[in-house]
Amino acid sequence: MAKIGKISGFPEWLPEQKIAEDRVISTIRAIYESFGFTPIETPAVELISTLGSKGIIDKEIFAVKRLKADESDDAELALHFDLTVPLARYVAQHGSFLSFPFKRYQCQKVWRGDRPQKGRFREFYQFDIDIIARDELPLSCDAEVVSVIGLVMDALQFGEYSIRINNRKLLSGLYSELGLDESACRAAIVIVDKLQKIGAEGVRAELQKISGITEAAVETIIKTTEIRCSADQLAERLAPLKLISPLITEGVQDLVTIWELLPESVKNSAVVDLSLARGLNYYTGLIVETTLIKYPEFGSVFSGGRYEDLASEFTTQKLPGVGVAVGLSRLMELAFTEGLISTSQRSPTRALVTVYSEEDRRLSNDVAQQLRSAGLPTEVFYKAPKLGKQIEYAESKGVRYVLFIDAATREVKVKDLVTKEQSKIENLAEWARTIA
Amino acid sequence: MAKIGKISGFPEWLPEQKIAEDRVISTIRAIYESFGFTPIETPAVELISTLGSKGIIDKEIFAVKRLKADESDDAELALHFDLTVPLARYVAQHGSFLSFPFKRYQCQKVWRGDRPQKGRFREFYQFDIDIIARDELPLSCDAEVVSVIGLVMDALQFGEYSIRINNRKLLSGLYSELGLDESACRAAIVIVDKLQKIGAEGVRAELQKISGITEAAVETIIKTTEIRCSADQLAERLAPLKLISPLITEGVQDLVTIWELLPESVKNSAVVDLSLARGLNYYTGLIVETTLIKYPEFGSVFSGGRYEDLASEFTTQKLPGVGVAVGLSRLMELAFTEGLISTSQRSPTRALVTVYSEEDRRLSNDVAQQLRSAGLPTEVFYKAPKLGKQIEYAESKGVRYVLFIDAATREVKVKDLVTKEQSKIENLAEWARTIA
């Protein structure tokens, strides 16, 4: 008999968990669509040369090859490891058929060719939005993306959260005023990004290793990481550092402009946090992460930022963008483990129509189809055993309403398995609509 | 610059096509759910040993391997080529957590490691339902699956269709009464399955090659393939052949029982068709295919049948099932090519709120958010150029309603780009609900 078992890193949900995940996907999608983001989907597979085009070598890749490959086979293929590289390729390839600014959402599995290790997903859902413009992308788009995060987090009801924002211009401006050259700036950003993992002492120790950095610069960088405030307080909080440059001013002004465009409800959950750095090289302005207050060690729910040029590897056209992604599978795992979401629904079925005997099955089918047409997912029991057995099935599946039909009079009765009440149904469609 | 281009066999839709595909998926899902089918999702990847467990060697497989694979890597992995093998593994693995009969739907990409060739998809969506029982599965389940096909085909509105059904017991019974042994029966089924491709002459020629077959048997088989009727006429149509056996009687009786449980609307589009054979070995009772009358060369939209034992490779428990699958990507390609579905919607956006000047953007944001909350997907223009530019954007995206706000009076006006009428909006939420 063939061996079965979990392949490490490839999560698989039970039906009640999948129903909960679908509910989350549809909540997020409804909000994305309410802002006019349009769905796209790219193949799971890209050319390896496409995936490698951004020079990202730290993402391990799953190659895909026919078991029976021969010399007629085409180019080297691999599974995509994120949805940003496929988006870049898509926009470069189909740009002439798209309206700009191109606002898209994309909910697909991505694959990371990591070594199998505990707690790391190698296949997971990512759910992205991005706004891509031709030539110039105003800050209103950054503000819109941050607003969407707030609305989604409110809708998910996974508890209190903090939308942490920062600006790469501001960080680069500060660090270069402290005497760091471009490559030292980049190194400092990668180090500060590790603050939550290695703590202030760890960051200090690593910063000190940057060649040519002064002790004063290290201390000032550490001090900036303690700044957490609203954007309108930012200039005041930075003043004691006495660091002034056009880039710093621009970074602060960008944050203020974005902040002022946020709805009040989102402002209440947002904070400018200068300890936020994000490791990835390609961000050039806004950066954003979203933390669940109760689960800081979980890391970021929504992460992203602004980049000056999405697809420079594929086209000469300048395509600035801003976007965020949520790692959905990890989030669902947290929600299941911590009980943040109900998994009590075991199937879509809301009502079960019983069958007295096989001769009456058509009658039960007719009643069920009337309920379905009125929007109520309904099953007919698949056999005709004693009614007790049929009610047991409804109970085991968490189906609340069980219907009984009198074959002679065609009278339909319903038992509510929660209240234990039994009543006659006069009008099937009407009853279905009040329940559905 | 990195090379981009279509990878042969991996379809990718433009946004308006993806919106149409999502609409089809949601139509099918709503009907599946109305019958209580529950969603599951399995990883894209299975152990190669799992995929090979049914001994299916004619499906070519895409292997998946880390680019940086080393000796620490785990078992051999590959992309699934259908959703039936993953379902079998899922039910065997999680059976103790599932309610039986287990009614599941699954909409996922599958991959076929074919050589690249024109017109063949190597990645495509499949959208399956199956009902799996423990030990015994009554014919009511077969009837339910056929009924679902009818409801889905009606809802899709892709034109007239025919649900062709047959029964493997009947075919085996007929062929063995004609003197064919078990392996000759199987061979005959595979040959008859090619009828539409190679014609009656081709079938005759291939049947004649079966060792030990008589000329009379060949002619009778050809004659049976001409039988197309309702199930209640079947016994009468078979009578002249003078072939009688318990297996034949059982096959006919199964078809009659299923037929009688179909709603009238489905019966009208259904036909018992003895030329339907289906190549796959594992069917043991009902077999079904669904043809669009106008596109016979397209082949089957919904295909499937009953199998006696889903997961014998993984568990000693007997798990009979019945199910059908629709090859969604191929169907969408037909719908796009033949104009069976509208692709006029280019984004979810229904209304555009214009922006007179950047100072008024918050006002536009507020209006837009009120419309979104009332269920109307709404964009705010991302810059503040002349209004003509903003209206052009709405036109290019097919957004029908363009809103203008008087910053002083806060009066909101809407222009309907279809009727060209302009009117004042008194109550935003109310207006949004009448449009949405």
pLDDT of residue A399: 97
Are the beta carbons of B14 and A94 separated by less than 8 Å?
yes
The ipTM (two decimal places) reads 0.95
Rounded-to-integer distance, Cα A83 and Cα A323, Å: 11
Contact B215, B245 (CB under 8 A): no
Q: In what order do the strands lie in the sheet with B161-167?
A: B38-39, B102-111, B123-132, B321-327, B300-307, B283-292, B161-167, B270-273, B228-229
**Closest by Cβ to B313, choosing from A1, A68, A378:** A1
B416 against B49, higher pLDDT: B416
Are the beta carbons of A74 and B98 separated by less than 8 Å?
no
| The amino acid at A19 | I
**Closest by Cβ to A383, choosing from B98, B138, B369:** B138
pLDDT of residue B72: 65
| The amino acid at A276 | L
Does the beta carbon of B90 lie under 8 angstroms from any beta carbon of chain A?
yes
- C-alpha distances (whole Å) from A378 to each of A349, A366, A373 are 5, 11, 10
Contact A256, A230 (CB under 8 A): no
User: Could you give the dihedral angle defined by the CA atoms of residues A286, A292, A293 and A298, in that order, rounded to the nearest 10 degrees?
Assistant: -100
Confidence class of residue B298 from pLDDT cuts 50, 70 and 90? very high
What's the residue count for chain B? 436
Q: Which of residues 282-301 of A touch B (CB under 8 A)?
A: none
pLDDT at position A204 over 80: yes
Grouping H, G, I as helix, E, B as strand and the rest as coil, residue A104 is: strand
Nearest to B143 by CA among A72, A45, A41, A382: A382
Are the beta carbons of B73 and A116 separated by less than 8 Å?
yes
Does the beta carbon of B57 lie under 8 angstroms from any beta carbon of chain A?
no
Closest CA in chain B for residue A125: B43
Confidence class of residue B230 from pLDDT cuts 50, 70 and 90? very high
Are the beta carbons of A36 and B4 separated by less than 8 Å?
no
Rounded to a whole number of angstroms, the distance from the CA of A191 to the nearest CA of chain B is 26
Question: Which value, in Å, is the radius of gyration of the alpha carbons in chain B?
Answer: 27
pLDDT at position A235 over 90: yes
pLDDT at position A74 over 70: no
Rounded to a whole number of angstroms, the distance from the CA of B408 to the nearest CA of chain A is 19
Tell me which chain A residues have a C-beta less than 8 angstroms from the C-beta of B96: none
Tell me which chain B residues have a C-beta less than 8 angstroms from the C-beta of A116: 72-74
Contact A290, A161 (CB under 8 A): yes
pLDDT tens-digit readout, A103-114: 999 999 999 988
- Please give the interface size between A and B, counted as residue pairs whose CB atoms are below 8 Å apart: 272
Q: Please, what's the largest Cα pairwise distance for chain A?
A: 94
**Closest by Cβ to B99, choosing from A92, A99, A397:** A397
Does the beta carbon of A256 lie under 8 angstroms from any beta carbon of chain B?
no
Mean pLDDT of all residues in A396-410: 95
Contact A405, A363 (CB under 8 A): yes
Contacts of B83 (CB under 8 A, 6+ apart): B42, B106, B108, B110, B126, B128, B325
**Closest by Cβ to A45, choosing from B10, B50, B144:** B10
pLDDT of residue B57: 53
Rounded to a whole number of angstroms, the distance from the CA of B74 to the nearest CA of chain A is 7
pLDDT tens-digit readout, B311-370: 888 988 999 999 999 999 999 999 999 999 999 999 999 999 999 999 999 999 999 999
pLDDT at position A57 over 70: no
Rounded to a whole number of angstroms, the distance from the CA of B183 to the nearest CA of chain A is 24
Rounded-to-integer distance, Cα B383 and Cα B353, Å: 11
Quote the Cα angle for A271-A274-A275, to 5°: 105
A387 φψ region: left (φ > 0), alpha (ψ -120 to 50), beta (else)? alpha
Nearest to B167 by CA among B289, B254, B261: B254
Are the beta carbons of A7 and B42 separated by less than 8 Å?
no
**CA dihedral (B224, B230, B232, B233) positive or negative:** negative
pLDDT of residue A414: 98
Confidence class of residue B67 from pLDDT cuts 50, 70 and 90? confident
Are the beta carbons of A348 and B101 separated by less than 8 Å?
no
Supply φ then ψ for residue A401, to 5 degrees. -110, 125
Grouping H, G, I as helix, E, B as strand and the rest as coil, residue A395 is: helix
Contact B131, B103 (CB under 8 A): yes
**Closest by Cβ to A123, choosing from B43, B47, B380:** B43
pLDDT tens-digit readout, B86-128: 999 999 999 999 999 999 999 999 999 887 777 789 999 999 9
The one-character DSSP state at A75 is S
Supply φ then ψ for residue B101, to 5 degrees. -60, 135
Q: In what order do the strands lie in the sheet with B62-66?
A: A45-47, A77-79, A62-66, B62-66, B77-79, B45-47
Tell me which chain A residues have a C-beta less than 8 angstroms from the C-beta of B317: none
pLDDT tens-digit readout, B263-280: 999 999 999 999 999 987
Does the beta carbon of B385 lie under 8 angstroms from any beta carbon of chain A?
no
Rounded to a whole number of angstroms, the distance from the CA of A125 to the nearest CA of chain B is 11
Q: In what order do the strands lie in the sheet with A412-416?
A: A378-380, A351-353, A401-405, A412-416, A422-425
Confidence class of residue B147 from pLDDT cuts 50, 70 and 90? very high
Q: Which of A99, A257, A402 to mutate to test the interface with B (most CBs of B within 10 A)?
A: A99
Rounded to a whole number of angstroms, the distance from the CA of A213 to the nearest CA of chain B is 36
Structure tokens at B325: 């699958």
The one-character DSSP state at A341 is S
Structure tokens at B192: 């008859």
Mean pLDDT of all residues in A70-79: 77
Mean pLDDT of all residues in A129-146: 96
Mapping DSSP onto H, E and C, the string for chain B reads: CCCCCCCCCCCCCCHHHHHHHHHHHHHHHHHHHHCCCEECCCCCEEEHHHHHHHCCCCCCCEEEEECCCCCCCCCCEEECCCCHHHHHHHHHHHHHHCCCCEEEEEEEEEECCCCCCCCCCCEEEEEEEEEECCCCCCHHHHHHHHHHHHHHHHHHCCCCEEEEEEEHHHHHHHHHHCCCCHHHHHHHHHHHCCHHHHHHHHHHHHHHCCCCCCHHHHHHHHHHCCCEECHHHHHHHHHHHCCCCHHHHHHHHHHHHHHHCCCHHHHCCEEEECCCCCCCCCEEEEEEEEEECCCHHHCEEEEEEEECCCCCCCCCCCCCEEEEEEEHHHHHHHHHHHCCCCCCCCCCCCEEECCCCHHHHHHHHHHHHHHHHCCCCEEECCCCCCHHHHHHHHHHHCCCEEEEECCCCCCEEEEECCCCCEEEECCHHHHHHHHC
pLDDT of residue A222: 97
Contact A104, A39 (CB under 8 A): yes
Q: Which of residues 144-163 of B touch A (CB under 8 A)?
A: 144, 147
Are the beta carbons of B365 and A263 separated by less than 8 Å?
yes
Q: Which of residues 302-361 of A touch B (CB under 8 A)?
A: 313-316, 346-349, 358, 361
Long-range contact pairs involving A7-10 (C-beta distance under 8 Å, separation at least 24)? A7/B43, A7/B45, A7/B46, A7/B47, A7/B74, A7/B75, A7/B77, A8/A116, A8/A117, A8/A118, A8/A122, A8/B74, A9/A114, A9/A116, A9/A117, A9/A120, A9/A121, A9/A122, A9/A123, A10/A121, A10/A122, A10/A123, A10/B43, A10/B45
pLDDT tens-digit readout, A353-392: 999 999 999 999 999 999 999 999 999 999 999 999 999 9
| The amino acid at A25 | I
The share of chain A scoring above pLDDT 70, in percent, equals 96
Rounded-to-integer distance, Cα B25 and Cα B13, Å: 14
Are the beta carbons of B22 and A15 separated by less than 8 Å?
no
Contact B267, B259 (CB under 8 A): yes
pLDDT of residue A206: 97
Does the beta carbon of A142 lie under 8 angstroms from any beta carbon of chain B?
no
Rounded-to-integer distance, Cα B128 and Cα B118, Å: 26
Q: Which of residues 208-247 of B touch A (CB under 8 A)?
A: none
Grouping H, G, I as helix, E, B as strand and the rest as coil, residue A302 is: strand
Q: Which of A3, A8, A41 to mutate to test the interface with B (most CBs of B within 10 A)?
A: A41
Structure tokens at A86: 């496929």
Nearest to A275 by CA among A227, A309, A343: A227
Antiparallel, parallel or unpaired: β A283-292 and A161-167? antiparallel
pLDDT tens-digit readout, A255-266: 999 999 999 999
| The amino acid at B404 | F
pLDDT at position B423 over 60: yes
Structure tokens at B232: 């209640």
Contact A68, B60 (CB under 8 A): yes
**For the whole model, what pTM was predicted?**
0.95
The answer, yes or no, to whether the previous bond of B101 is cis (omega within 30 of 0) is yes
Structure tokens at B347: 């984004």
Does the beta carbon of B5 lie under 8 angstroms from any beta carbon of chain A?
yes
Are the beta carbons of A67 and B50 separated by less than 8 Å?
no
Rounded-to-integer distance, Cα A89 and Cα A315, Å: 9
Are the beta carbons of B44 and A109 separated by less than 8 Å?
yes
**Closest by Cβ to B62, choosing from A53, A66, A314:** A66
pLDDT of residue A69: 75
Are the beta carbons of A40 and B18 separated by less than 8 Å?
yes
Rounded to a whole number of angstroms, the distance from the CA of B426 to the nearest CA of chain A is 21
The one-character DSSP state at A402 is E
pLDDT of residue A124: 97
Quote the Cα angle for A50-A54-A55, to 5°: 105
pLDDT tens-digit readout, A295-354: 999 999 999 999 999 888 898 899 999 999 999 999 999 999 999 999 999 999 999 999
B333 C-beta neighbours (distance < 10 Å), count: 18
